Amino acid sequence: MTTDILHEQKILILDFGSQYTQNIARKVREFQIYCEIHPCTLTFEEIKTINAKGIILSGGPASVQEKDSPLCDPRLFELGFPILGICYGMQLITHLFGGKVDSSPNREFGSAELMLNEFSDMFEEVKNNSIVWMSHGDRISKLPTGFKGIASTNNSPLAAIENSSEKIYGLQFHPEVVHTIEGTKILKNFLFKICECSQNWKMESLIEYMIRDIQNKVKNSNVVCGLSGGVDSSVAAVLIHKAIGENLHCLFIDNGLLRTGEKEKVESTFRDNFNINLDVIDAADRFLEKLKGITDPEQKRKSIGNTFIEVFEEEAKKRGDFTFLAQGTLYPDVIESVSFKGGPSVVIKSHHNVGGLPDKMNLKLLEPFRELFKDEVRLLGREMGMPDEIINRQPFPGPGLAIRILGDITPERLDILCAADKIILEEVKAFGLYNDLWQSFAVLLPVKTVGVMGDSRTYESVVAIRAVTSTDGMTADWAHLPYELLGKLSNRIINEVHGVNRVVYDISSKPPGTIEWE
Ligand code: XMP
Triad 133, 137, 143: Cα angle to 5°: 90
What distance in angstroms lies between residue 446's CA and the mean position of ligand 1's atoms?
A: 21
Is the CB–ligand 1 distance for residue 439 below 6 Å?
yes
Give start and end residues of each alpha helix (H) in 189-282. Answer: 203-218, 231-244, 262-267
Triad 386, 390, 394: Cα angle to 5°: 150
What pLDDT, on a 0 to 100 scale, did the predictor assign at position 497? 98
Residues 455 and 387 in one domain: no
pLDDT 10s per residue in the chain (518 long)?
Answer: 333 545 567 999 999 999 889 889 889 988 999 888 899 999 999 999 988 999 999 999 999 999 999 999 999 999 999 999 999 999 999 999 999 999 877 777 888 999 999 999 999 999 999 999 998 889 999 999 999 999 999 989 999 999 999 999 999 999 999 889 999 999 999 999 999 999 887 888 789 989 999 999 999 999 999 998 889 999 999 999 999 999 999 999 999 999 999 999 999 889 888 999 999 999 999 999 999 999 999 999 999 999 999 999 999 999 989 999 999 988 777 655 443 334 454 443 334 445 567 777 889 999 999 878 788 899 999 999 999 989 999 999 989 999 999 999 999 999 999 999 999 999 999 999 999 999 999 999 999 999 998 889 999 999 999 999 987 777 789 999 999 999 999 999 999 999 999 999 999 998 889 999 99
CATH code for the domain in which residue 451 is found: 3.30.300.10
**Contact criterion met (CB below 8 Å) for 20 and 173:** no
Edge-to-edge strands, sheet with 148-152: 35-39, 11-15, 54-57, 83-86, 168-171, 160-163, 148-152, 100-116, 130-142
Residues in the chain: 518
Last residue of a domain, one of 175, 194, 213: 194
Residue 53, in any domain of the structure: yes
Is the CB–ligand 1 distance for residue 297 below 6 Å?
no
Residues 30 and 176 in one domain: yes
Q: By 3-state DSSP, what share of the chain in percent is helix, strand and coil, each rounded to 5?
A: 35, 25, 40
| Helix or strand holding residue 420 (H, E) | helix 411-430
Q: CA 237, CA 226: separation in Å to the nearest integer?
A: 9
Comparing C-alpha atoms, which of 349, 263, 356, 350 is closest to residue 309? 356
**Residues known to be catalytic:** 87, 174, 176
408: how many CB neighbours lie within 10 A of its CB?
Answer: 13
Residues 184 and 212 in one domain: no
**Contact criterion met (CB below 8 Å) for 330 and 373:** yes
What distance in angstroms lies between residue 12's CA and the mean position of ligand 1's atoms?
A: 31
Residues 160 and 238 in one domain: no
Residues 375 and 232 in one domain: yes
For 161, residues 6+ apart whose C-beta sits below 8 A from its C-beta are 90, 93, 94, 140, 143, 144, 147, 148, 149, 150, 169, 170
E-strand ranges in 153-211 read 160-163, 168-171
Best residue for ligand 1 mutational test, from 515, 517, 518 (most atoms within 8 Å of Cβ): 515
Residues 218 and 306 in one domain: yes
Cis peptide before 387 (omega within 30 of 0): no
What distance in angstroms lies between residue 397's CA and the mean position of ligand 1's atoms?
A: 5
Residue 398, in any domain of the structure: no
Residue 510, in any domain of the structure: no
| Helix or strand holding residue 148 (H, E) | strand 148-152
Residues 171 and 212 in one domain: no
Phi, psi of 476 (to 5 degrees): -155, 155
Beta bridge partners of residue 309, listed in sequence order: none
Query: What's the chain's Rg over C-alpha atoms?
Result: 26
CATH code for the domain in which residue 125 is found: 3.40.50.880
Q: CA 390, CA 381: separation in Å to the nearest integer?
A: 9
Q: CA 513, CA 434: separation in Å to the nearest integer?
A: 22
What pLDDT, on a 0 to 100 scale, did the predictor assign at position 340? 38
Q: Which atom of ligand 1 is nearest to the CA of 305?
A: 17
What pLDDT, on a 0 to 100 scale, did the predictor assign at position 428? 98
For 233, residues 6+ apart whose C-beta sits below 8 A from its C-beta are 225, 226, 227, 326, 327, 328
Residue 517, in any domain of the structure: no
Q: Which atom of ligand 1 is nearest to the CA of 517?
A: 2
What pLDDT, on a 0 to 100 scale, did the predictor assign at position 336? 53
Q: CA 125, CA 396: separation in Å to the nearest integer?
A: 44
Residues 186 and 44 in one domain: yes
Residue 512, in any domain of the structure: no
Write a three-state SS string for 356-413. CHHHHHCCEEECCCCCCCHHHHHHHHHHCCCCHHHHCCCCCCCCHHHHHECCCCCHHH
Residues 376 and 486 in one domain: no
**Contact criterion met (CB below 8 Å) for 331 and 373:** yes
Residue nearest to atom 6 of ligand 1 (CA): 473
Is the CB–ligand 1 distance for residue 473 below 6 Å?
yes
Residues 342 and 287 in one domain: yes
Residues 181 and 216 in one domain: no
Dihedral sign computed on CA atoms, order 257, 320, 313, 348: negative
What pLDDT, on a 0 to 100 scale, did the predictor assign at position 373? 79
Is the CB–ligand 1 distance for residue 306 below 6 Å?
no
Residues 341 and 442 in one domain: no
C-alpha distance from residue 405 to each of 289, 401, 438 (Å): 16, 6, 20
DSSP tag of 127: P
**How many structural domains does the chain have?**
3
For 483, residues 6+ apart whose C-beta sits below 8 A from its C-beta are none
3-state secondary structure at position 279:
strand
What pLDDT, on a 0 to 100 scale, did the predictor assign at position 234? 95
Last residue of a domain, one of 173, 194, 215: 194
Residue 33, in any domain of the structure: yes
Cis peptide before 511 (omega within 30 of 0): yes
What pLDDT, on a 0 to 100 scale, did the predictor assign at position 16? 96
Residue 60, in any domain of the structure: yes
Last residue of a domain, one of 159, 194, 229: 194
Is the CB–ligand 1 distance for residue 229 below 6 Å?
no
Q: CA 504, CA 486: separation in Å to the nearest integer?
A: 9
Q: CA 158, CA 152: separation in Å to the nearest integer?
A: 5
**Contact criterion met (CB below 8 Å) for 161 and 94:** yes
What pLDDT, on a 0 to 100 scale, did the predictor assign at position 338? 41
The whole domain housing 497 covers: 410-505
Residue nearest to atom 14 of ligand 1 (CA): 397
CATH code for the domain in which residue 224 is found: 3.40.50.620
pTM of model > 0.95: no
Residue 459, in any domain of the structure: yes
Is the CB–ligand 1 distance for residue 228 below 6 Å?
no
